[in-house]
Amino acid sequence: MSSVPERSEIDEAYTWDLESIYTTDDDWEAAYESVADRIDDLAAYEGQTVDDAETLLAVLGLRDEIMREVSTVAAYARMRRDEDTTNQHYQGLTARAQSLAADAQSAASFIEPELQDLTREEFDEMVAAEPDLETYDHYVDDVLRMKPHTRSAEVEALLADLSEVTGATGEVYNMLSNADMTFPTVEDPDGDAVEISQSNFVNLLKRPDRDFRKRVYENYFDEWASVRNTVAASYKNSVKADVKTAQARNYDTAREAALDGPNVPVDVYDTLVESVHDNLDKLHRHAELKRDALDVDELRMWDVYMPLTGDEGPDVEYDEATDHVVAALEPLGEEYQSRVADGLDSQWVDVYENEGKQSGAYSGGTYDTQPFILMNYQDDISSMYTLAHELGHSMHSQLTKEEQPYVYSGYEIFVAEVASTVNEALLTNHLLETVEDPEFRKHVLNEFLERVRSTLYRQTLFAEFEHEAHRLEEAGEPLTADRLDDLYRDLKADYYEPAAIDDRIAREWMRIPHFYRAFYVYQYATGISAALAIVDTVLEEGQAAAEDYLEFLRRGSREYPLDLLRIAGVDMSTSDPIDRALATYGDRLDEMETLLS
């Protein structure tokens, strides 16, 4: 019998308040029909977008109104489905909402190509004639910026039609890794059979029995060896598609094309890699500390995920976690702190696991709703950090929508992880300042160190791998399974110099789905670097620095990512934020070493 409760058994106080969006499903249906009827009104403007200032304002305003309504319709359906993923009714509503969103995007697809017929001077003249267009100044600047990489209507249509084909390698990989591959079952120390899966692999490598971890590791990667040529062919063609698409859009490299979307210079990527390499000694210290804590002669790849504490952490019930998180946010000011507390009391969070509930955690909601957070809280330190993380996203969205029009209410991935990681870092600081229990402190430090290891170092290693893979393709060199294994093995040996590097770990690149979304992962590393640098400044300088950070949150996407972060006092075009983040990592290593000794 399952120990996971039915949703009806969860106290309503620990569920989110989706009735605040639509009181009933009938209200959702009415909203769906209303916005569906308006989509044709937008499509009717095709060919007229830049006829005059009044028409341009009308087109952009109508598009924003429709997208706002569509996003709310889609969010409600998706969150209802996530309460119980087996519910066929809400699966149906979600599918309908997805189709509605696709129809709306299609209807609006003419706008940006038509905007690119304007010059900057012509748009400024339109603003003079229709001052309300000033709202769209940055948006139009971004659209016009991409004009050199936008092809003729015929070529753009062809590229759009081919996008499903060029992206098919990722779908093939997902089907192979999640549907067709079957991993072995291994026996745990109690004699129970444990089936290895994609979702439980890392958690199994945190089990205290070393022989069990080794069996899991070997069996898992041996299964990948059986499909290595298929995965290599899939990834090779994914890289080739990136390169060819970039060339079609007049970019010199695939990396340049990927980073140009959010307007991030490639120098930022290179600076991250160089700074991390300059600080590999700290990661090596972490590995050596782990080897000593585990009392092994040599750290092996099946030991890397083991916590330095070596055992399960203390219980942290949800209400205790909320107290810690709210208290930790004090450096950001009383208003920010009280708004988080009010949100926690206002059913922002769907707290506990129930039968059929979507796994993991996320921050949701739309421009016209309160924030919503899905969790599967497990009464542990990691869940407390996840709560702090998602509240960071929610407050970022909340402050943005209160200050910005809809067109700037989102934000690029480059800055998205900053707010969440700032909250995590403040939580670490608060717990280390207020909790005296040495065992609890060790678990807090381990949580912090593992997040830096897995986010800053590991994602930078991934970034190096995919950059080199694309460089090889652009140079006309073959991307075979052996070549990819060798490339990954060499990187792993650099990053984990104190550990033993075996042939199986050379296949780890095969299990990373993010590689099919090229030049994405580096943003996790820059995000945590920026966040830790911001926290250092806030703790050192106080209210003024906190207000700069909050202003960054309020700006949404009204400016480009690097300019936004400069508001918060961080210049990601330099190595300084990365060096500061890694200095903090080094200091925490010192603290942990002291506690362990």
**Collapsed DSSP state (helix, strand, coil) of residue 186:** strand
Here the tokens at position 556 are 């949404």
Q: Please report, to the nearest 10 degrees, the dihedral formed by the alpha carbons of residues 174, 178, 182, 183 taken in order.
A: 100
Among the options 83, 114, 353, 390, which is catalytic? 390
pLDDT score for 73: 98
Task: Examine the domain organization and report whether 279 and 397 are in the same domain.
Answer: yes
How far CA 160 is from CA of 45, 93, 166, 172, in Å, comes to 21, 27, 10, 19
Q: How confident is the model at residue 180 (pLDDT cuts 50, 70, 90)?
A: confident
For 336-358, write each residue's pLDDT tens digit. 999 999 999 999 999 999 988 88
Cβ-based neighbours of 154, under 8 Å, separated by 6 or more: none
Average the pLDDT over 181-209 and give the result: 91
Identify the bridge partners of residue 187 per DSSP, sorted by sequence position. 193
For 557-585, write each residue's pLDDT tens digit. 999 999 999 999 999 999 999 999 999 99
pLDDT of 161 higher than 80: no
Provide the whole-model pTM.
Answer: 0.91
Q: 362-366: long-range contacts (C-beta < 8 A, 24 or more apart)?
A: 362/390, 363/390, 363/391, 363/393, 363/394, 363/397, 363/420, 364/75, 364/78, 364/79, 365/75, 365/394, 365/397, 366/68, 366/71, 366/72, 366/75
Here the tokens at position 116 are 């690119």
For 510-538, write each residue's pLDDT tens digit. 999 999 999 999 999 999 999 999 999 99
What is the per-residue burial (b if ≥16 Cβ within 10 Å, else e) of 6-22?
A: ebeebeeeebbebeebb
pLDDT of 165 higher than 90: no
pLDDT of 306 higher than 80: yes
H or E segment and range at residue 419: helix 413-434
Q: Please report, to the nearest 10 degrees, the dihedral formed by the alpha carbons of residues 218, 380, 294, 292 taken in order.
A: 130
pLDDT score for 157: 67
Task: Examine the domain organization and report whether 128 and 233 are in the same domain.
Answer: no
Helix axes 576-596, 522-541, angle to 10 degrees: 80
Q: How confident is the model at residue 121 (pLDDT cuts 50, 70, 90)?
A: very high
Average the pLDDT over 398-409 and give the result: 97
Least confident among 164-168, 253-257, 282-286, 402-406: 164-168
Give yes or no for a contact between 304 and 293, defined as CB atoms under 8 angstroms apart.
Answer: no
Task: Examine the domain organization and report whether 491 and 588 are in the same domain.
Answer: yes
pLDDT score for 162: 79
Task: Examine the domain organization and report whether 30 and 176 are in the same domain.
Answer: no
What span, in angstroms and rounded, lies between the C-alpha atoms of 380 and 385? 9
Average the pLDDT over 325-333 and give the result: 98
For 10-67, write each residue's pLDDT tens digit. 999 999 999 999 999 999 999 999 999 999 999 999 999 999 999 999 999 999 999 9
Task: Examine the domain organization and report whether 174 and 70 are in the same domain.
Answer: no
**Could you tell me the CATH number of the domain that includes residue 72?**
1.20.140.70
Domain tally for the chain? 2
Does 399 reside within a domain? yes
Does 462 reside within a domain? yes
Task: Examine the domain organization and report whether 42 and 170 are in the same domain.
Answer: no
Task: Examine the domain organization and report whether 231 and 102 are in the same domain.
Answer: no
Q: Please report, to the nearest 10 degrees, the dihedral formed by the alpha carbons of residues 233, 234, 239, 244 taken in order.
A: 90
For 223-237, write each residue's pLDDT tens digit. 999 999 999 999 999
pLDDT score for 153: 66
Task: Examine the domain organization and report whether 171 and 87 are in the same domain.
Answer: no
Task: Examine the domain organization and report whether 65 and 120 are in the same domain.
Answer: yes
Does 131 reside within a domain? yes
One-letter amino acid at 568 equals A
% of the chain residues with pLDDT over 70: 99
Does 201 reside within a domain? no
Is the C-alpha dihedral spanning 474, 478, 484, 489 positive or negative?
A: negative
Does 33 qualify as catalytic in the annotation? no
What span, in angstroms and rounded, lies between the C-alpha atoms of 164 and 99? 16
Does 389 reside within a domain? yes
Give yes or no for a contact between 15 and 347, defined as CB atoms under 8 angstroms apart.
Answer: yes
Give yes or no for a contact between 376 and 359, defined as CB atoms under 8 angstroms apart.
Answer: yes
Give the other-Cβ count within 10 Å of 29's Cβ: 14
Task: Examine the domain organization and report whether 552 and 486 are in the same domain.
Answer: yes
Task: Examine the domain organization and report whether 442 and 551 are in the same domain.
Answer: yes
Task: Examine the domain organization and report whether 234 and 122 are in the same domain.
Answer: no
Does 190 reside within a domain? no
Does 309 reside within a domain? yes
For 456-492, write each residue's pLDDT tens digit. 999 999 999 999 999 999 999 999 999 999 999 999 9
Determine the structural domain holding residue 105 and report its residue range.
9-150
**In whole numbers, what is the pLDDT of the chain averaged over residues?**
94
Average the pLDDT over 189-213 and give the result: 91
**Could you tell me the CATH number of the domain that includes residue 574?**
1.10.1370.20
pLDDT of 2 higher than 60: no
Give yes or no for a contact between 138 and 60, defined as CB atoms under 8 angstroms apart.
Answer: no
Average the pLDDT over 413-436 and give the result: 95
* Helices and strands, number each (H, E), in the chain: 25, 5
